[in-house]
Amino acid sequence: MQYNWHWRVLVEAEPGGTGTYLQYLIVGLGWTLVTALAAWVIALSVGAIVGTLRTTPLKWAVRLGNLYVEIFRNVPLIVQMFLWFFVVPELLPEAIGDWIKQMPPPWSSYLPAVMCLGIFTSVRVAEQVRAGINSLPRGQRMAGTAMGLTEAQTYRFVILPQAFRIILPPLTSEFMNIIKNSSVALTIGLLELTGRARAMQEFSFRVFEAFTAATVIYLITNLLVVLMMRALEKKVRVPGLIAVGGAPMAGH
Amino acid sequence: MGFDFDVIQRSWGYLFREGMTFTLTLTALAMVGGIVFGTLLAMMRLANNRIVSGFAGAYVNFMRSIPLVLVIFWFFFLVPYIGAWVVRSPEPIKVGAFYSALITFTMFEAAYYCEIMRAGIQSIPRGQVWSGYALGLTYGQTMAQVVLPQAFRNMLPVLLTQTIILFQDTSLVYVISATDFLGAAAKVANRDYRLVEMYTFAAVVYFVISYGLSMLVKRLQDRIAIVR
């Protein structure tokens, strides 16, 4: 069984007329990153709020946070993607729903994809934030109270600044997850990197060249993210703490 | 617009007898295959031989840095070629979506199970290994009878949590048009133009199963924690 490689396909023109296949894939990487970054903003802000609320003494806030986490953790990502794309526009008031559905091509799938990935990842960020806050010694909170800080001030000046620095490494892997997970958006028609590799395979019939190129691009992206985050981690590490290697968590 | 519950009732048999059976069979087999293969990888990663541990490490890191959807595509197209190579056929052989998905998930999840098992093995005190050798057990016997049983037990909750994630991830076989639970729901949704109802229903079913299983894992975790 022999497969005839034909690497030159990468510099051949793609049928859409935007340039070579390689350029076509690189633009796909651009969409992957733009999707991942926008979703990351949502994930971080919502995740930080929900995670923090779950550590407060407010019973209703803890319950609400738990409910939020359980709902979005127990539904598969692709199903959530379909909910955001097919179901949510129908449930919104008609004018807004129609406006979303009638957006020009990449945006009508980009917006649901960003919302979906952002909310999906915010749950995991919330878990990390909660774990980070709970890993701080009790004394930190007590010291805050003893100094006359209010609950909110204790969080703002004592707890959160430490917690965020501690959880940076697990957040790095969540960011890499969001890059990988953005590939699920191809199911709602967003032509990101994996979607474009798939399209290239259909146009050119060069199956393994297309997927190898996409794989290599993902590996390089991952490597760059890891290197950047390592540098950042070194910078914000809390002096005196052993580098945290938390218990292994199930996940992707 | 009204919510049409009838479509769910009409397609009940197709959704569960065909779709859910596919999903659950795939989950169970990929879990077993993934844990077996993952444990082997973990032992390789912890081996003293640089080449062996390097290979296992590279495999795990590679699988963990590319998206599952891409891996599904890879194997969907690659498995027919590998099959042809194995049976020395000149043409790529036909492999159904199920076997393609099974191989994909076994190979992919093995990388994740490997990391869990590695942590499990590393959590066993070294003295356990030494006492195994002191009793005259070989490496294989020490692993099989002393280290791995304890590692499994310590890691059981995490292994099961990973399996719940695997169960959710099997829905991604949608991209190769397999008829798993989501695939079946999508086919009914498009046939009857009942997207809102079918996808909401699919979400509810996945939620109930995943949440139920995670509650069971939590109880198991509490029980193990009390015993130790």
Cβ atoms of A109 and A195 within 8 Å: the answer is: no
For domain B6-227, give the CATH number: 1.10.3720.10
CB contact under 8 A, B203 and A176: no
Q: Which residues of A touch B90 (CB under 8 A)?
A: 1
Task: Determine the Cα–Cα distance for residues A176 and A64; give it in Å rounded to an integer.
Answer: 28
Task: Determine the Cα–Cα distance for residues A79 and B183; give it in Å rounded to an integer.
Answer: 11
Burial class (CB within 10 angstroms; exposed 0-12, middle 13-18, buried 19+) of B2: exposed
pLDDT tens sequence across B23-81 = 999 999 999 999 999 999 999 999 999 999 999 999 999 999 999 999 999 999 999 88
Q: Which structure tokens are listed for A59?
A: 């019973």
CB contact under 8 A, A1 and B112: no
Read off the pTM: 0.90
Q: Which structure tokens are listed for A218?
A: 């993902």
pLDDT tens sequence across A78-116 = 999 999 999 999 888 888 888 888 888 888 899 999 999
What counts of helices (H) and strands (E) characterise chain A? 12, 0
Dihedral sign for Cα A226, A231, A237, A243, please.
positive
What mean pLDDT is reported for chain B?
91
CA-closest candidate to residue B114, choices B147, B149, B158: B158
CATH class of A7-236: mainly alpha
CA atoms within 13 A on the CB side of B56: 22
Please report the ipTM that was assigned to this predicted complex: 0.91
Give the C-alpha distances (Å, rounded to integers) separating B139 from A19, A174, B101, B144, B151.
Answer: 57, 37, 34, 9, 16
The average pLDDT across B144-165 equals 93
B221 CB within 8 Å of a chain A CB: no
- Please give the residue of chain B at the shortest CA–CA distance from A196: B70
Highest mean pLDDT among A93-107, B85-99, B141-155: B141-155
CA distance to partner chain B, nearest, from residue A58 (Å): 23
Per domain, the residue ranges of chain A are 7-236
Cβ atoms of A194 and A186 within 8 Å: the answer is: yes
Task: Please list, residue by residue across B114-147, b when 16 or more beta carbons sit within 10 angstroms of its beta carbon and e when fewer do.
Answer: bbbbbbbbeebeeeebeebeeeebeeeebbeebb
Task: Determine the Cα–Cα distance for residues B166 and B173; give it in Å rounded to an integer.
Answer: 12
Other C-beta atoms closer than 10 Å to the C-beta of A107 total: 11
CB contact under 8 A, B169 and A219: no
Per domain, the residue ranges of chain B are 6-227
